[in-house]
């Protein structure tokens, strides 16, 4: 992309945004070249454009449905065993389902938090950070489990941290009046406190319900406080 200083950063924006605003921003850049601070603002604006699209995306709802289905698959693997697994309730055969479910639900949880849109307060932003770090930690713990390197307290602590962050996201949505998704986001991690037998089907069913609701047209692009 040829043009004034900083114009290359416009490539970071979604195509729909560029089609609507690129010419106008290019004119502004011609009139007032950017410094490093202005380039940082453009980069942050690109991230915001991707996170807050003008039209609602079905990606979080699809991810919730896929993640819930993966955890239901893990529950089926567990149900076929003659004896329950040792604490914290994982089997090697169910680890691929758990990895897929946790990865999909990372997308779903971030999507749920972004429903707050411009109405996100400090608690909502903290909830998003905590939930994201918790899910990433859970993914890392499951990868260690799959590699046979660690199991037990690390896996349990990681899933607990992810659950706490997710509950925080749900509480932020409840404060914004986002029902029924908020209630399900709060309820889903509570199943992780149950023994392994009922935990995984309950967790998977709650997220599957969130996905069904979202695909049914209830996934608004943002929520704004009055």
pTM (two decimals): 0.81
Residues 6+ apart with CB under 8 A from 103: 67, 139
Torsion-angle region of 4 (φ positive above 0: left; ψ -120 to 50: alpha; else: beta): beta
Per-residue pLDDT at 116 exceeds 70: yes
Hey, how many other C-beta atoms are within 10 angstroms of the C-beta on 62? Answer: 18
Rounded Cα–Cα distance for residues 125 and 138 (Å): 20
Dump pLDDT digits (tens) for 151-176. Answer: 999 999 999 999 999 999 999 999 98
- CATH class (in words) of the domain with range 59-218: mainly alpha
Backbone angles phi, psi at 62, to 5 degrees: -65, -40
List the chain domain ranges. Answer: 7-51, 59-218
Give pLDDT, residue 36: 79
């Amino acid at each position: 992309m040829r043009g004034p200083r900083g114009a290359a950063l416009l490539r970071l924006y979604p195509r729909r945004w560029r089609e609507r605003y690129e010419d106008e921003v290019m004119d502004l850049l011609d009139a007032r070249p950017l410094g490093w601070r202005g380039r940082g603002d453009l980069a942050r604006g690109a991230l915001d454009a991707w996170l807050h699209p003008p039209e609602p995306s079905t990606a979080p709802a699809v991810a919730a449905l896929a993640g819930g289905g993966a955890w239901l698959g893990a529950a089926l693997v567990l149900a076929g065993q003659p004896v329950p697994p040792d604490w914290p309730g994982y089997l090697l055969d169910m680890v691929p389902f758990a990895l897929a479910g946790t990865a999909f639900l990372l997308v779903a949880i971030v999507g749920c938090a972004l429903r707050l849109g411009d109405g996100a307060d400090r608690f909502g932003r903290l909830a998003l950070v905590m939930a994201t770090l918790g899910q990433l930690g859970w993914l890392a713990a499951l990868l260690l489990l799959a590699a046979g390197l660690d199991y037990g307290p690390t896996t349990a602590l990681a899933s607990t941290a992810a659950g706490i962050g997710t509950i925080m996201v749900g509480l932020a949505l409840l404060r914004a009046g986002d029902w029924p998704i908020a209630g399900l986001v709060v309820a889903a991690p509570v199943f992780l406190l149950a023994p392994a037998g009922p935990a995984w089907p309950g967790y998977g069913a709650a997220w599957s319900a969130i996905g069904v609701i979202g695909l049914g047209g209830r996934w608004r692009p943002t929520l704004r406080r009055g």
